Amino acid sequence: MKFRVERDVLAEAVTWAARGLPTRPPVPVLAGVLLQANDDGTLVLSAFDYEVSAQVTVAADVSESGTVLVSGRLLADISRNLPAQPVDVVTQDSKVSVTCGSSRFTLLTMPVEDYPALPPMPESSGTVAGDVFTLAVAQVTTAAGRDDTLPILTGVRVEIDGSKITLLATDRYRLAMRTLEWSPEGTDASAVALVPARTLADTARALGSGASVELALGRTGQGDGLIGFQAGSRRTTSRLLDGEYPKVSSIFPTTSEVTAVIETATLVEAVKRVALVAERNTPVRLRFSPGAVVIEAGQGDDAQASEQLDALLEGEELEIAFNPQYLLDGLGALHQQWARFAFTQPTKPALLTGQGEPDAAPDDSFQYVLMPVRLAG
């Protein structure tokens, strides 16, 4: 195999393919990236760990076609640090030489015949705008569980219903839901899938810079147990999680006794400051009164902090407490100038949404439900 490719093209392609490679693969070949140089002037880079596959196709000046398997992380590190000149890659027996200007590296190859075949891409279900997809996934995955002993909660529930996609995630302490419009292949599109949150977040960040992202999912949400994403020359598949997602939709409050609107950025900074004195697993308290909210942390003999902000309150005065990081995660996911809280009782879940103006209607396309922390006494 022998080909020449631009340094930046190679670096981006290898980084994309190798981004999810396991650090301790169960089989050594799963740490590799497969390079396939074709006579039609294309170079295909592939990676697969039996859970997630990634593949990208780039243009290359191919002198001799062929296939080789090398360490993905090592090749990514090398290609990113090469000088800004064309890169020549040549196989020599069981080694691969990578030459760029006066820099030359020699890598050992791994047996191609031991590398597993990548799963086929499921049939396309439709497309969604890349920037919308990236933002929606980032908003929802912040609430996904990270405890692998509860694998169902480490996923994002993806529900397709016609031209609407609903993303849902929870770790039992907060719940995030985002609805967005997309362009399905058919008007009767319907599917449900549970996608690993970390994989979905990584894929959205990597693909979302494109104009559109193609989603590929079986109509029943089961199919061959895969979901696929493609943007331009990049494609990836992920194994779906098995199991029944908990019926959490009933957690969303349908009515509210008290609502409060606060400027998002101001509230974020205040919570960060006040939370500096909050010991591990202790909450910040929010006391709402007409025209203001007081944010407090610490009590008794501990360090204490408080800060007062302007707030538009409708309803009775209320005091409620939250885990400060969970509150900050929700505020950071709003991407709106104003944050709107809807409360029923201090011990019941609170609903957080965003809005563009203090007196505007809330944007319900993203909803973040936060469980309060019970106050002592």
Average pLDDT over residues 289-303: 91
Query: Where does residue 113 rank: exposed (0-12), middle (13-18), buried (19+ CB within 10 A)?
Result: exposed
Q: How far apart are CA 90 and CA 317, in angstroms?
A: 73
Q: How far apart are CA 145 and CA 152, in angstroms?
A: 8
Residues 6+ apart with CB under 8 A from 318: 258, 287, 288, 343, 346
CATH superfamily for 252-370 is DNA Polymerase III, subunit A, domain 2 (3.10.150.10)
User: DSSP character for 188?
Assistant: T
Looking at residue 329, its amino acid is D
The predicted structure's pLDDT at residue 364: 93
CATH 3.10.150.10 domain residues, the chain: 2-114, 124-249, 252-370
Q: Which CATH number fits domain 124-249: 3.10.150.10, 3.20.20.140, 3.40.50.720, 3.30.9.10?
A: 3.10.150.10
48-63 per-position pLDDT tens digit: 999 999 999 999 999 9
Full-model pTM: 0.91
Of 155-159, 181-185, 248-252, 290-294, the range with the lowest mean pLDDT is: 248-252
Q: How far apart are CA 53 and CA 236, in angstroms?
A: 5
Percent of the chain with pLDDT over 70: 97
The predicted structure's pLDDT at residue 186: 84
* Nearest Cα residue to 282 out of 236, 322, 342: 322
Angle of helix 72-80 relative to helix 7-18, nearest 10 degrees, comes to 150
User: DSSP character for 186?
Assistant: S
Architecture label for domain 2-114: Roll (3.10)
Virtual CA dihedral for 252, 256, 261, 264, nearest 10 degrees? Answer: -10
* Nearest Cα residue to 237 out of 219, 225, 221: 225
Residues 6+ apart with CB under 8 A from 12: none
What DSSP element (H or E) covers 37?
A: strand 32-37
Q: How far apart are CA 354 and CA 335, in angstroms?
A: 7
188-235 per-position pLDDT tens digit: 888 899 999 999 999 999 887 778 999 998 544 444 689 999 999 999
